[in-house]
Amino acid sequence: MALKSKHQRLVLALIALVAIIGAGLLAASALKDEAAYFYVPADVKFKGFTPGKAVRLGGMVVAGSLAHAPDGVTKTFTVSDGKASVPVRFTGIAPDLFREGSGVVAEGKFDAQGTFIADNLLAKHDERYMPREMEGMSYDPTTHKVTGANQP
């Protein structure tokens, strides 16, 4: 590839343009997959899920649903967004702010039966940390009612 033309600048600019458009397309196609990266329980109920794919699930931990397995490091609980709920099994050390009735984002994947197998939990660090998809979601501990997030 001889670049020694009078138009070397033009050629370089074209190559740069092609590279940047290529990157844009690559990013766009990857983002399309990514749009399905975050689930709330309603998505699972109405849109279904792909078993084995690495995703995040966000919602409120339903009070009274938390149970501990005999191995000491596995917990099961139910996550709800007011419209639907999903069973979750988590093996690991839960963050300090993880408790019933508070928000949680679980990282992991669905098994074939629709149980979410979490390998990491992100609990709300403080009032200022809330996943975007869960803004507006709240939980009433007396009525066990979850007020839904404004998920489209």
Partner 1 sequence: MIAELGLAALWLAAGLALLQLVLAALGLGKGRAELLSGVRPVAVAQGLLGALSFGALIALFLRSDMSVLLVAMNSHSAKPWLYKFAGAWGNHEGSMLLWVTVMGLAGALVALLERGLKRETHMATLGAQAAISLGFYAFLLFSSNPFARLNPAAPDGQGLNPLLQDPGLAFHPPTLYFGYVGLSVAFSFAVGALLTARVDAAFARAMRPWVLGAWVLLTIGITAGSYWAYYELGWGGWWFWDPVENASLMPWLAATALLHCVTVLATRDALRAWTVMLAVVAFSMSMVGTFLVRSGILTSVHAFAVDPERGSFILVLLLLYIGGALALFGLRVGTVREGRQFEGVSREALLVVNNLLLTVILGVVLVGTLYPLMAEAFGHKISVGPPYFNAVAGPIALVLMLAMAVGPLVRWRRDEPGVVAGRLLWPAGLMIGLGAALGVAAWGKIGVLPFLGLVVAAGVALASLIPLTKRNLRRTPLFTYGMVLAHLGCAVSLGGMAAESAFTTERLVAMKPGESVEAAGWRIRFDRALPLAGPNWVAMQADMAASRGGEDIMLHPQSRFFSSPPTTTSESAILTRWDGQLYVVLGEALDDGRWQMRIWWKPFVTFIWFGGLMIAAGGTLTLIGRERRGWMMRLRRHRAEQSA
Query: Could you list the residues that contact partner 1 (CB under 8 A)?
Result: 1-4, 8-9, 12, 15-16, 19-20, 22-24, 26-28, 30-31, 33-35, 37-38, 54, 56, 68, 71-73, 91-94, 96, 120, 125, 128-133, 135, 149-152
Structure tokens of 127? 């009032």
Alpha carbon distance 61, 59 (integer Å): 7
Q: Which is nearer to partner 1, 37 or 140 (CB)?
A: 37
CB 41 within 8 A of CB 134: no
The two beta strands, 103-110 and 55-61, are antiparallel
Q: Report the residue number, 96 or 113, with the smaller CB distance to partner 1.
A: 96
Residue 93: phi, psi to the nearest 5? -100, 120
CB nearer partner 1, residue 12 or residue 147: 12
CB of 142 to partner 1, least distance (A): 24
> 38-65 burial, b if ≥16 CB within 10 A, otherwise e?
bbbbbbbeeeebeeeeebbbbbbbbbeb
CB of 143 to partner 1, least distance (A): 25
Closer by beta carbon to partner 1, 15 or else 114: 15
- In the complex, least distance from residue 16 CB atom to partner 1, rounded to whole angstroms: 6
Q: What are phi and psi of 47, to 5 degrees?
A: -110, -10
CB of 147 to partner 1, least distance (A): 16
